[in-house]
Each structure stands twice: as structure tokens, then as C-alpha cells.
Chain A
Amino acid sequence: DAMVIQNPRYQVTQFGKPVTLSCSQTLNHNVMYWYQQKSSQAPKLLFHYYDKDFNNEADTPDNFQSRRPNTSFCFLDIRSPGLGDAAMYLCATSRVGVNSPLHFGNGTRLTVT
């Protein structure tokens, strides 16, 4: 089945130690998104790619970076994780256009020790 796959499902990192989360898709969608979801809160958009065009949200901290080497893969890099960055990180994909639903992966839960 076509899908959005996030690995790993759970990730533990140390305070200040860089960490990379990965997302892959078999849907061949142009747009890929990264969301952060903290406990008991709604998902919050960090940034998205339209093909190779990177679109950052105004309030996304510089500590969060992203790479999209090809259509299928997208990475979220947290350069120096703090305790406040512990959250579920969700990847999603869609075709271009407001009439195209987003398809989400099941997320990576990041713990910072």
C-alpha cells in the first residue's frame, strides 16, 4: 500500500546532541510537511517542501532544519535538542493544491534526556 513511513517510531537523544528523523513516501507527492506535536496539543506546522522549494514557518526555531534529497525522502534535523523539543514529530505528504488531502505518517516520538 502507498504510504508515509517514519523511522524510527521512538527516538531518544541527549540534551544538545544532534538528531535526525526520517520520512519516506511511496505516494509520489510533490509536497512534504513536518509537524511538531507536544503532549495534549494540536500538531504545529514547522515547515514544508513543495518539490525542492523549502517553506519555513515564521515561528519555527533555527534549531530545526530540513533536507529533501529527492521526491521520496525528507529529513528533520534538530541541531541542539533541548528538553522543550521532546514531542511527536509528524511527517505528511500531499499533491499540490487546496483540494488535495494531506497523508500523515504515524510519527516519531522524540525523548530528550
Chain B
Amino acid sequence: DAKTTQPPSMDCAEGRAANLPCNHSTISGNEYVYWYRQIHSQGPQYIIHGLKNNETNEMASLIITEDRKSSTLILPHATLRDTAVYYCIVRVLYGNKLVFGAGTILRVKS
């Protein structure tokens, strides 16, 4: 499985953009980058995923570098409810699996 590296924690001011980085230098050509978050005592929540192109949905934007070795999840206007653990995951090509790494604890502060 392609390994991901994320900072253990980050702080963000409420109303500002939260930019969460992820390194995945061993990613293979057909492996997707997924982002999930987990709020305390809840199941992981899907945020966004992408292969090569930048992606945007109602929750966030995903910026993937041209060499695909890193990506950034952007929450455009962070709120206190965005405080959570954010997981960057490279999805293996075969076997349907999703393997979680350690994640980044994002604290949004007022």
C-alpha cells in the first residue's frame, strides 16, 4: 500500500481556509487519493477523492500536484464543526480496500 505522511496536528482560525497537506511519494499511476474525516465518536465521513485532476465539491477542494506525490485538502471557510481528524488515504488499485494512516488532528479555533 502506498504510504501517506501527514502532520500530526494543525490549528486554523474560524472563517479562514484550512489547508491540510499530505505526502504520498510512492503512489502508483492508477491509485486514487481519498480524504476522510472523523469527528469524535462518529464514523469516518467521506470528503473527496481524486486521481490526477483537482477536484471540488460542496465540502472541500483537493489539489494534487502534477507528479502526484503530494496533495492538499482545502476547507475554504473553516468552522468550529470542522474540528476533526483528517485522513489522507491512497486507495489500493485492487481488492476494494481502504487503509487508514495516522491522520491530522485539525483544531479550528474562534
Contact = CB atoms under 8 A, between A and B. Distances in A.
Contacts of B97: 45, 48
A56 B23 CA distance: 28
B54 to A, nearest CB: 16
A42 B49 CA distance: 19
A101 B101 contact: no
Which interface class (under 10, 10 to 19, 20 to 34, 35 or more) fits B?
20 to 34
Given A42-B87, A43-B44, A107-B43, A102 B98 contact: yes
Interface majority SS on A: helix, strand, loop or mixed?
Answer: strand
A101 B49 contact: yes
Contacts of A73: none
Interface residues of A, number: 26
B32 A102 contact: no
Contact of B99 (A45, A97, A98, A99): A45
Given A102-B44, A104-B46, 7 more contacts: A31-B96, A45-B99, A96-B96, A101-B34, A103-B46, A104-B43, A104-B44
